[in-house]
Amino acid sequence: MPKDYPRSRRIAEQIRRELAEVIRDEVDDPRLGSVTLSEVQVSRDLGHATVYISILGAEAEEVAASVDVLNRAHGFLRSHVARRIRAKRTPQLHFVHDTAFDRGARLSAIIDEVAPPADEEPNQ
């Protein structure tokens, strides 16, 4: 696991906040659903940022289309973020689907399937 650097972490969080606003306010594409930016990881040299997105309740095709839209608009998004964060260097943005929410929902469904409801008493 790579070391965690405080400056990279601060920049990543700032990029996540600003990017969420830019996507919400500036990007007008019907293929783009309700996107949640779950995490941003910035390389140590601040040259690249991997942005993990999730879209709750979306099918795989919808998620792939949204990731494609964001990757195609990376230059537009980067320029808007650069104006907002006022850093000397703004990282290249790479958008990736975050599967953590999907895995969590799938595990929760499996647990609900196996575990008895809380209001039922166990057989004695």
Report the pLDDT value the prediction gives residue 1, as an integer from 0 to 100: 47
Q: CA separation (Å) from 85 to 1, 14, 63, 119?
A: 28, 7, 28, 51
Handedness of CA 63, 70, 16, 93 (dihedral sign): positive
Structure tokens at 39: 């995490």
Which residue would you say has higher pLDDT here, 104 or 3? 104
Return the CATH fold of 6-114: GMP Synthetase; Chain A, domain 3 (3.30.300)
| pLDDT band at residue 35 under the 50/70/90 scheme | confident
Of the candidates 11, 86, 71, the one whose C-alpha atom is nearest the C-alpha of residue 45 is: 11
Structure tokens at 83: 């104006």
Contact criterion met (CB below 8 Å) for 92 and 48: yes
Does position 28 have pLDDT exceeding 50, yes or no? Answer: yes
Helix (H) or strand (E) holding 94: strand 92-97
**Stretch 19-33: mean pLDDT, rounded?**
87
Which residue would you say has higher pLDDT here, 31 or 48? 48
Map out the domains of the chain as residue ranges: 6-114
pLDDT tens digits for range 77-122 = 999 999 998 778 899 999 999 887 777 777 888 888 887 766 665 5
Report the pLDDT value the prediction gives residue 5, as an integer from 0 to 100: 65
